[in-house]
Structure 1
């Protein structure tokens, strides 16, 4: 098809991601973004929300039949060349996606960004089981499936399709930057690490706890903040708090505060046991901070060991402790890795570049 003139982006999740992408696409086409504006506005409290003259942002909570009717009516009035969903999680939202893709028919190209080809272990897998049929229905009917990196494509082929025959609708895209600071801030002179986000089992918080205990036993304490909510934080908070140098913040941390925490850190730790794409990684690089990450999944597509981060085997406390020690004791290494992270953000994770590629792939 020729370059689309009207793009309808529907994002029941990943609100900041969808806004940044929609603003970039609006440099080339008229864009209608359907999103829960209450959630979006909460994410941008204390920050300037990006906009564009060719971008129209409208609200939906994706929770009722009346909202589905309004969504279909908006689609018919807007007459998009492309209907692009950020893949939903939740039964009602998944039903919205299925109905609108069918309604679009051949009047528009249809696309889904698949953020997780298969569900993560824990709560994600239980949620996904309830909507598996709807998700499979929608994935099977869209014209394009966008995935973040080759590792996610491989996982989609191997674990979701269970086939060696490539799905020719699949296209690669990047996870653009999130939580960018208003202006770059220098790394702190003393080493300080940060782990943040929703603390689910696959995030490897128990691996980090074991690594920190190992360091403490050896008399090599690391300054680190662990911030966020989730079952693993609830389970491990009492184990983490007594460790020297550890600050455990068991609460929801607003976006503007996360930006400050990233800026106050030397690096962000991602001791994940499995991974697809990662908004945490995109936010770290946006702030010019390198990562210490597990050598798993989509993290490997973006983290270049020794260039913008350090990779360690998953679920290996000794290797994680060694990487933390290496970073803590080598300021020159920290500076080099931070410069690499900033370069990656400016080049590969720039939303304008991502939008141009997306337009050619529709």
Structure 2
């Protein structure tokens, strides 16, 4: 079978890239012919920029060569924050891929943001999810959350989040290679530094529990150097220096060294505030190191019988306090009696910190302003469509000198459809209607529809200042009343 994998790929520093690498290796070992399409910073067989949808468009173009197309979906791979046009084109390109290669496409969802369904990019993304032949998830909790949030039923499939098992040294040898003289229990927080990882929660819980000779290592670096992430990393480093037993290793480590750290630890600690499933947890399972896991998103479901799932800071404190006794009871992965496992993850809600800049419309001034902006765009396009159609029909009739003859329908149709301005006006109307659908999804008709009267206002302004046609005082009075009425309506509750 010829398979196209669309994903980030090493040497890009990305857990999804590592997952895709293992998937590709497994597929090739099964005899499949696999081609990898990656961003330029990955070592794929083909490369294309993913942001803005170009990589997805490339997959749609070359997809006819393949029997199966696997798209690894994670918002940060494809969407640029605070770039609405880019987000719309990205979702549109994903929809293009699904429509053109529907029978071959499988979307593997590593993460998806709770949507704002009034936005065009989410509407297009929702449609792509619904039409895809297969949408795969790592946990049932993730599938339930996506179907609930996007209000869509998908052709779902569960794919365990596992990575290839590799040969590794003993715990003592791993610590020796890392230059660690740690004999007491050792905890490890590892990953890119950002607030959603919650490593500060682990540091505080470790401080409250008391070191008792144990050690906590925080291993990681900032991947996306946003002001928020940089401030978080700086604050975390300062706090680590003040807590006895905590050491921060502020750098990126390659896969081989990362595996050594995981093997060297007695417990991997994932105190995430938001997550879907975790590649680091899958790596810990492959290397036989148990984990203390926050019960958010799909993590509780992904955890195995050797892991401890915690749902609040008090339980995290208890896990650190019990950890030294559990570690002393046997080697990592054997599962002592103090280890607990909760499987309540199926109903938990996966969350993500992707695209936080826009709030929901309901109850926010910003949301109301954004909704009215969409209304004004739709009305402006409708007015432009009317003017374009008028210009086209003036050309067709030579400004009324050759009127349309309804008794000769064939000639009428020929004259109208042969005019470019008429087609342009109709196209603008379609675009106006598309924006209006977004408005109607978030506002009652009695709130939104009166704004359509602004079309008259805009056309009147055009007649006066562009065509220099005289406007009577009564018309100006009518315009004033329209605007006054719209100002009153805009202050009412707009949501359905």
Same fold (TM over 0.5): yes
SS of 2:141's equivalent in the other structure is helix
Which of 176, 190, 193 is residue 187 of structure 2 equivalent to?
A: 193
Gaps of 5+ in 2: 10-15, 80-86, 173-182, 223-228, 337-496
How much does 1:260 deviate?
A: 2.1
Aligned to 1:102: 99
How much does 1:323 deviate?
A: 1.1
- CA deviations over 1:84-119 (Å, ceiling 9, x no partner): 2111421365554333223325xx322101112435
Query: Is the contact made by 1:212 and 1:222 (CA closer than 8 Å) also made in structure 2?
Result: no
SS of 1:8's equivalent in the other structure is strand
CA distance in 1, matches of 2:26, 2:155: 23
Which of 48, 53, 72 is residue 86 of structure 1 equivalent to?
A: 72
Gaps of 5+ in 1: 42-56, 120-124, 342-362
Query: Is the contact made by 2:74 and 2:110 (CA closer than 8 Å) also made in structure 1?
Result: no
Distance 1:37 1:301, change over 3 A: same
CA distance in 2, matches of 1:63, 1:71: 14
SS of 2:143's equivalent in the other structure is helix
Q: How many residues align?
A: 298
CA distance in 2, matches of 1:339, 1:40: 38
Aligned to 2:143: 153
How much does 1:277 deviate?
A: 0.9
User: Does 2:259 match 1:256?
Assistant: no
Aligned to 2:48: 60
CA distance in 1, matches of 2:105, 2:198: 36
Aligned to 1:344: none
Query: Is the contact made by 1:228 and 1:252 (CA closer than 8 Å) also made in structure 2?
Result: yes
How much does 1:340 deviate?
A: 6.0
Larger relative contact order (CA 8 Å, sep ≥ 6)? 1
How much does 1:311 deviate?
A: 1.6
Distance 1:234 1:138, change over 3 A: farther
- CA deviations over 1:39-79 (Å, ceiling 9, x no partner): 358xxxxxxxxxxxxxxx33333358876665444323x2x
Distance 1:272 1:65, change over 3 A: closer
Distance 1:66 1:308, change over 3 A: closer
SS of 2:171's equivalent in the other structure is coil
Larger radius of gyration: 2
CA distance in 2, matches of 1:244, 1:236: 14
CA distance in 1, matches of 2:120, 2:219: 30
How much does 1:293 deviate?
A: 0.9
Aligned to 2:34: 31
Which of 1, 18, 23 is residue 21 of structure 1 equivalent to?
A: 23
Which of 159, 163, 182 is residue 173 of structure 1 equivalent to?
A: 159
- Superposed, which structure 2 residues align to 1:1-362 within 5 Å? 5-12=1-8, 14-26=16-28, 27-36=30-39, 38-40=41-43, 57-62=45-50, 70-76=58-64, 78=65, 80-89=66-75, 90=79, 91=87, 94-105=91-102, 108-118=103-113, 131-161=121-151, 167=153, 169-177=155-163, 181=166, 183-188=167-172, 190-216=184-210, 220-230=212-222, 231=229, 232-304=232-304, 307-314=305-312, 316=313, 318-335=314-331, 337-339=332-334
Query: Is the contact made by 2:56 and 2:94 (CA closer than 8 Å) also made in structure 1?
Result: no
CA distance in 2, matches of 1:327, 1:109: 47
SS of 2:142's equivalent in the other structure is helix
How much does 1:130 deviate?
A: 9.1
Query: Is the contact made by 1:19 and 1:33 (CA closer than 8 Å) also made in structure 2?
Result: no
Aligned to 1:50: none
Query: Is the contact made by 2:48 and 2:54 (CA closer than 8 Å) also made in structure 1?
Result: no
CA distance in 2, matches of 1:38, 1:282: 24
How much does 1:272 deviate?
A: 1.6
Distance 1:8 1:205, change over 3 A: same
Distance 1:17 1:70, change over 3 A: same
- By percentage of residues, which structure has more helix? 2
SS of 1:272's equivalent in the other structure is coil
Query: Is the contact made by 1:144 and 1:169 (CA closer than 8 Å) also made in structure 2?
Result: yes
- TM-score (norm: length of structure 1): 0.72
CA distance in 1, matches of 2:244, 2:160: 38
How much does 1:169 deviate?
A: 0.3
SS of 1:23's equivalent in the other structure is helix
Distance 1:25 1:308, change over 3 A: same
